[in-house]
Each structure stands twice: as structure tokens, then as C-alpha cells.
Amino acid sequence: MGRISRRLFVLATLCLAVYPLAVPGAARAAGQPFAAVATTSQVADLVREVAGGRAEVSSLMGEGVDPHTYKLTRTDVARIAGADIVFYSGLHLEGKIIDALTRVAGSGKPVHAVAEAVPADRLLTPEGFDGNPDPHVWMDAALWTHALDAVRDALAAFDPEGADVYRANAADLSRRFERLDAYAESALGSIPEQARVLVTAHDAFNYLGRAYGLEVRGIQGISTESEAGLREIEDLVDLLVARRIAAVFVETSVSERNIRALIDGAAARGHRVVIGGALYSDAMGAPGTYEGTYVGMIDHNVTTIARALGGTPPAGGFEGRLAALGR
């Protein structure tokens, strides 16, 4: 255990002494919402939608934050220790804080890795990732329903009095996910066959590609900590030129430096490539915005990709709420 990890472990232990483990339903008995903490904004959005007013939900990671490299702060440790229930994505997405979350779970606090509810045979295991699955399962709305079910069940077990509320809210959200999945299939299906190539900063979109028939190429690997080499960039420039791909995409939580290198490389060979838009990969949009919800995030990505690659999505996207894209 490294020096920083030891310090955080000691701090977590002290915080648990200050904030004793919650008794399920105790906060509700007093008419107050219980405290739920989630690591990523995607997971927090699920918990917030399912819990409704029965929980006060907060996220450790906000807009533009990369979960692959995120490290807990002292404030984070105190928030986790003071929470009644904790949710994280899992599948090694939050690689640098998994040990701390495991220790918290070992103390008796309910801690749930919701993406790990996805059936193993539906997970992708790309080459070069040490046999670990690709953690970006939320890019396929149908797969993310498994995480939704995990949140529903965890909340019902923690707060049985609210079980009917959680089941009803989850059922409503599941139906919305079904409509979003159908929209994504239709919008991305409108891209001409020869243009169905999605080039982004890192490999966060493999599940989206598998679900909706896109060839996905990322400059970096699954984790943003991987290095993009000159050979990989040259290979992608070859692809862009040979297939006459018109657009590549930056990501809100990843540097666009390597994407700029692709554009310059293609230009040097006489092929014009533009940035088709900024996609949400490991983080959602700003809190309080449509893109700051899971549905809005996927809607933005799907509509942006389809439009930039020659597809014909509706002007306002899935629910007509993407006004900025409709100009």
C-alpha cells in the first residue's frame, strides 16, 4: 500500500468513527432523505432518478472529470464515510480508488458496483487491457438497464419501505431507455455505409459501436492513461484518407491534442477532416442541463455523431431538447 493510500485509509477509518454506519430506514423514519454518494455522474443520475425524493444524491466526479485517473481527496473520503449508501460503476473504471471503496465495503457500509451487474457474456474484453473488460458499458442504453436494475435492488434492500417507489421509478426509466435505444439505432443507422467510422480520442465507444453498427477507433486505449504512439496516429490518418472520413471527434474529459494531430496529418495528404463535435465519454455535461443527465448525454452523442458523419437525425435529437445542435 502506497503512502497516500495508507493516509487515506487512516482518514477513512477516523471518518467512520465520526460518522457511524447508518441503520437502514433511520433517516426516513425522521422524515429526512438518506445520503447516497456515487463516484461518477452517470451512476449518480441513475440513483437520483430511481430514488426520487427519498435520497440526497451527490457525485464525487463532476463535469469533465476523468474517472480513470481520479484520486480521492480528503473531502471525498469524508463524504463517503458520512454517506448511508455508496454506488460506483466498477469494472475497474475508477481504477485508483477501488481499493478505498473495497475497504469501506469491508467496514459494513453498503457499497455497490452497478456496472458489474451486466452479464459477463455481454462484456467486451479488448486486446491490450490485461484481460479486464471494457468498463464503458453505459454507451449501450440496453446494457445500462442492467445497472439500473442493480440500483433499484440495492435501494430496495437498503430502504424496504421505499421499494414500491424504486420499482416504479426504475420501470419508468427503463421504458425511456428502450425508446432512447431505438432512437440511437435509427439515427446512427442513417449514416451512409462507407462513413460508419467513429474516430475519437480514446476507446470509450466500443459498446456504442457494437450496438449500432459503427467501426470505432480510438487514439488511446480503453484507459486515458495509455499512451498514443506515432504509429497509431499514422494508421488512423491512413484510415481517414483511404475511407474519405469527413469528421473526427473530441471528448469533453480527454485532451484534444492527438485529434488535432490526426487532422493535420490528413491535411498534409490532401484530405480535409473536421472536428465533428465534442462527445461525452467518461463524464456527462454540466449539472442542471439536459446533457448533464444520462439520457441527454447519449442523445447528444448519438445526434452529434450521426449529423457529422452524414446521417439524418431529427434537428432536436431524441426528445427535441438539443436546441444547440438544431441550429
Which tens digit of pLDDT belongs to each residue from 161-197? Answer: 999 999 999 999 999 999 999 999 999 999 999 999 9
Say how many CA atoms lie within 13 Å of 309 toward its Cβ: 28
The C-alpha atoms of residue 9 and residue 199 are separated, in whole angstroms, by 40
Mean pLDDT, residues 211-221 taken together: 85
The structure's pTM equals 0.86
Which carries the bigger pLDDT value, residue 111 or residue 31?
111
pLDDT above 90: residue 152:
yes
Q: Are 58 and 32 in contact (CB under 8 A)?
A: no
Sorted by where each begins, the domain ranges of the chain are 3-183, 191-317
pLDDT of residue 34: 97
Strands (E), the chain: 34-38, 55-59, 85-88, 111-113, 197-202, 215-220, 247-251, 274-279
pLDDT above 50: residue 145:
yes
Q: Are 68 and 91 in contact (CB under 8 A)?
A: no
Do domains 3-183 and 191-317 share one topology? The answer is yes
Which tens digit of pLDDT belongs to each residue from 12-25? Answer: 444 443 444 444 44
pLDDT above 50: residue 223:
no
Is the domain covering 3-183 a CATH 3.20.20.70 domain? no
pLDDT above 70: residue 38:
yes
CATH of domain 191-317: 3.40.50.1980
The C-alpha atoms of residue 86 and residue 101 are separated, in whole angstroms, by 9
pLDDT of residue 259: 84
